[in-house]
Amino acid sequence: MSGDGVDLLLAACATSGAAGAPGQQARQWLLDLERSHRPYQLCFQAISTAAGSQPESIRATVVFQCLSTMLHALEREWASLSSEEIGWIEREVEQLLRCEWISTPVLNQATYMLAVVAKRSWDVRDEEQRARAVTDKLAHLLSSVDHTSHRIGLALSHSLVTEFSSRHGSSLNLRWESHVVCHRSFERHVLQPMFCLLLHWLQVHSNAADELRLVEKALSVLLACLSWSFEETLSTEKLALRCMQPVSPSNEPEVGQVAFRPGRTWREVLLGQGSIIDFFASLHGRLFRARLPGSHCRLVRQVIIQLASLTGRVFPVDDDGAARRMQLMESLYWTCSGNADPFLDGLGNLTLALVPSCSEASQLDTWMSESFDIALDCWSVCLAHSPTGNAKVAEGCKTIFNRYVQYRLDAAQSANYDSEPDEQFCHLQSSLIYNDEQLRSIALLARPSAGVCLTHLSASLLEAAGAPVSDDAHERVCILATLLINVLADEAHPGELSLIPENVLQEPVEPVHRAIRSLLAVVDMQCRMLSTEEGRSSLSPLSCVLSEIENTPVELLIEFSYGVVFVWQFEIDASKLASEMVLQLTSIQPLRAILSRSHGWQSFVSVVHSMLSNSPPLSVPSEVLVMLSAAVSRVSILEASVASHFDMLCSHIKRLCQHRGHEHIDIVADILCGMAQCSGRLCSLRTFPVIIEVIDLVVTEHCTPTTSLLAMFNAVAVAIVPFLDHDRAVRFFRGCLRLINAFSATQADRIKAFSQDGSPSLFDDDDDYFEALLCLLNHCAAKDLFDFGPDSVTVGSDAAFLGLCLLLPMLSPSSLQQHPSVCTKIYDLLSELIVSSPDKIAMIAPAQQEAVVHAIEFSLSTSVQEKVTLAGLHALKSLADYLLEVGREISPGLTGSIPRFQQRILQMILFEQISDALFNPLADVLYPLIQVDTDAFQSSVRGFISQVADQRTRARIADGFNVLVTGRSDQRNRFHFRDNARLFVQECRSFLQTK
């Protein structure tokens, strides 16, 4: 091949990620090369040239692109390639893997190419010989003392398992039958030897601190081996777990039945490895205690669970097997109570012994708590593989479930409630939160004996609710109600098991109905008993129980609707809980239809009508009025039989608007906010005319934007605007612009006073108010929300830009520290506006440009929270990308601040202690900043290098800085820049910090 071809390929690879015509031409050239005849020699020549002459970032791009090109060519030309040509390609790729500079993406692509070649050339006629060649190659790589060989061996193992586990015919131009043949052959001859090789490597190298990344790779491959969809036909044991019972001819599986767990031939392999379970348990313990990356602990835990749930008897029935079963228990959890024969008895006794570790919130993040979670996972897997109606499994589940409930109740009774009420509530909430994290597994344990568990829970709940009022009694009610709801609720995803067995949902269903009635009784008793908002919110799970239960009788729905009206009329403080329940019911069509025809619903609407008819209206929390309005609007719009209820709401809105007082306007805004929450085209067409009429009437330059009014605008922007046409959308955004102008008129004096003499920030008044305002401004700036036409874009961006200019002067170091959530939203608004309406930034006034620069500089100071810094970096990146696209001449004021930002970011990554989460955002910002003003960056670099005394070190650091600025402004090089910057900082940080 000519040198011109290599040069063209190098140029195409380097330019393929660029935007515009050059990038498109490069990608087309590479596509033509991929479709050409025999491009392999040219690609290998380009790889060799790039390895010797190209910078690291360009080299990685070239090698990866060449490998991808050859892989596609191999799939297309396979039938015409000779065995000699295929062997030559394999040798060249293997030689490439030995290069020290090879990156992880290139390594993965090269090993995947070798795996594709291995599968494509697989032949069942000499499968044993080919399998031996594969295992010998892996054994040579993994047994070597060379770190590079280990890296290659693990990557190759992962690629082989990934490729051969595929059983569909969409790749490699193979028929489906060929994929199945390769899958089965690999399982018979390669999978076990590979598992043993990887296990041996892991046992030898898991203690090395510098091998953690390779340990993670080895664990993922081992997990893939155990998770393999096994095709082995078993003749002496069941495919599902049979509680270690002896196998008889009557329960043998049918011939050809598929096993989804490792079969009996794996038993000898696992037993032959000695203390395999002990090794994984010890490894998990070391990783857990050392607080190493969570992915490592997760992988080891999954391997343990897979091993603990193997199909059939994992251990023989002799004395040695009993000892190994005991070792399994002790190794998994370091403690075991009761005998170890059979497996489920040992696992059940062990789970019972660990229940106390989860009874108190103080046990969070401890080894005992982690052990209990592992035990629950193992038990759940065993339960999923157990036959329906197994008495041993059902009895074990019931025992563990009852023990868990009893320990939770005992812990609530013995808790210390001598602290202040707020601390009591925090204790209660933390207890419930911890309980919720395990509810899924705990509720699953109640499945085999749902009738018994539901009856027991219902009786216990009614008994606890009728007890004298006390803190421990209250927590007992919360625990029992939450458990009962999760046992009742069918949380299963598609393909998973339902938590309530079919035999319980069929006749008779008395346990389910009794449980529902007990919950309704608790609603009545507790809402009258509780007098604090905190106490009522702790019962909020009751608000959604009926929406999660299927086959609920009609009479219970009617009984429930009466209960809601009763609670609301006689205990006004409980209205929040009642309105949540009604809103849940109206969101489900079958329940909504039944509810709308019930007498209880008519009574409920009458109560709402009476409340709004009072003058002045009854004092009701804003969120309650919103939910009531949403419930009435949804039912009256979607159910024709009660359409008059919507007209009732509209008449109250018109009457309240005539008063024009702040109190009346807030009530109108709450009602409209509820209407706006009824999303959908039909609801939007009905509610928007009412909403926009009120906006045109109320929102003038003299009105005061309140929190309720802002919440209503936000609800309309989210739920209704996407269903509007162009004219209606423009009309709404003009209303937003009038609202922002009204905010400017009412707050102008305070903003001016703050900017001149540092008066207290407006944020000190109400964080929620300004968060609602910023949420509306972000809706106005979001192009995808109002991209109906040029008019809507102009009006929306005008409103967002006006609000941004009003809020920027209020950003200061003190406001960033005291109100980080509000300030973060201002940075998000700035980023959104730069992206969606860059023309606004080009026309920004000099004073406003300086405000933008100062606001971003505040976010980069060392005293602010990390989330504020991340938001400021996001805004700075949007600004740098904009300046890079339009050029420095468009906004000279903003461009003049680029050197300051360059120096500040270099200072942060080279001299300050920053978290790992900040490094990539800092690198992403630094890249376009360098591209905008390379001369200023070079000047800053010379200042940093001047701090180093040694001449050779200065030259070395200068070369490193030069590498950072070589590249093109495409997305691929941005990711390369992250890696280059991280390596540069690791190597040069210590030199630069030496004065």
Give Cα 807 distance to the centre of its chain.
32
In this prediction, residue 5 has a pLDDT band, given cuts at 50, 70 and 90, of confident
Q: What share of the chain is helix, strand, coil (3-state, %, to 5)?
A: 75, 0, 25
Instruction: Tell me the per-residue pLDDT of 536-553, one tens digit each, with 9 for 90 and over.
Output: 444 444 444 444 444 454
Instruction: Tell me the per-residue pLDDT of 922-950, one tens digit each, with 9 for 90 and over.
Output: 888 888 888 888 788 878 777 777 766 67
How many Å apart are CA 518 and CA 947, to the nearest integer?
Answer: 75
Q: Do 583 and 630 meet the contact criterion of CB atoms below 8 Å apart?
A: yes
Mean pLDDT, residues 875-900 taken together: 76
In this prediction, residue 564 has a pLDDT band, given cuts at 50, 70 and 90, of low
Instruction: Tell me the per-residue pLDDT of 38-80, one tens digit each, with 9 for 90 and over.
Output: 888 888 888 888 877 777 767 878 888 888 888 888 877 777 7
Per-residue pLDDT for 619 more than 50? Answer: yes
* Predicted pLDDT at 284: 66
Mean pLDDT, residues 621-648 taken together: 86
How many Å apart are CA 449 and CA 401, to the nearest integer?
Answer: 10
* Predicted pLDDT at 362: 47
Instruction: Tell me the per-residue pLDDT of 198-219, one tens digit each, with 9 for 90 and over.
Output: 888 888 877 765 677 788 788 8
* Predicted pLDDT at 655: 86
* Predicted pLDDT at 327: 45
Q: Please enumerate in sequence order all residues whose Cβ is within 8 A of that of 452, keeping only pairs 6 or more positions apart, or say none.
A: 398
* Percent above pLDDT 70 for the chain: 57
Q: Torsion-angle region of residue 38: left (phi > 0), alpha (psi -120 to 50) or beta? A: left
Q: What is the DSSP letter of 339?
A: -
| Closest of 538, 222, 604, 877 to residue 595, by C-alpha | 604
* Predicted pLDDT at 238: 31
Instruction: Tell me the per-residue pLDDT of 650-690, one tens digit each, with 9 for 90 and over.
Output: 998 888 887 766 677 888 888 899 898 887 888 888 899 99
Tokens found for residue 424 = 């009591």
Per-residue pLDDT for 962 more than 60? Answer: yes
Q: Do 824 and 868 meet the contact criterion of CB atoms below 8 Å apart?
A: yes
Per-residue pLDDT for 501 more than 50? Answer: no
Mean pLDDT, residues 396-405 taken together: 76
Site of tokens 């296990």 = 199
User: Which has more confidence, 399 or 288?
Assistant: 399
* Predicted pLDDT at 554: 46
* Predicted pLDDT at 290: 61
In this prediction, residue 467 has a pLDDT band, given cuts at 50, 70 and 90, of confident
Per-residue pLDDT for 902 more than 80? Answer: yes
Tokens found for residue 349 = 């006794």
Q: Do 277 and 328 meet the contact criterion of CB atoms below 8 Å apart?
A: yes
The helix-helix angle for 589-596 and 622-638 (nearest 10°) equals: 90
Site of tokens 């810094």 = 869
Per-residue pLDDT for 806 more than 80? Answer: no
Q: Do 47 and 9 meet the contact criterion of CB atoms below 8 Å apart?
A: no
Mean pLDDT, residues 515-527 taken together: 62
* Predicted pLDDT at 524: 53
User: Which has more confidence, 149 or 895?
Assistant: 149
How many Å apart are CA 283 and CA 333, to the nearest integer?
Answer: 12
Among 163-177, 378-392, 586-600, name the one with the lowest average pLDDT: 378-392
Q: Do 981 and 964 meet the contact criterion of CB atoms below 8 Å apart?
A: yes
Mean pLDDT, residues 510-521 taken together: 68
* Predicted pLDDT at 243: 25
In this prediction, residue 973 has a pLDDT band, given cuts at 50, 70 and 90, of low
Summary mean pLDDT of the chain? 69
User: Which has more confidence, 439 or 315?
Assistant: 439
Per-residue pLDDT for 405 more than 80? Answer: no
CA angle 777, 780, 781 (to 5 degrees): 90
Per-residue pLDDT for 189 more than 80? Answer: yes
Q: What is the DSSP letter of 257?
A: P
* Predicted pLDDT at 220: 82
How many Å apart are CA 568 and CA 611, to the nearest integer?
Answer: 11
φ, ψ for residue 234, nearest 5 deg: -100, 145
DSSP string, 78-128: GGG--HHHHHHHHHHHHHHHT-TT--HHHHHHHHHHHHHHHHHT--GGGHH
How many Å apart are CA 68 and CA 16, to the nearest integer?
Answer: 13
Instruction: Tell me the per-residue pLDDT of 833-848, one tens digit each, with 9 for 90 and over.
Output: 887 777 776 677 777 7
Instruction: Tell me the per-residue pLDDT of 407-455, one tens digit each, with 9 for 90 and over.
Output: 767 765 665 444 443 443 333 333 333 344 455 567 667 766 666 777 7
User: Which has more confidence, 362 or 371?
Assistant: 371
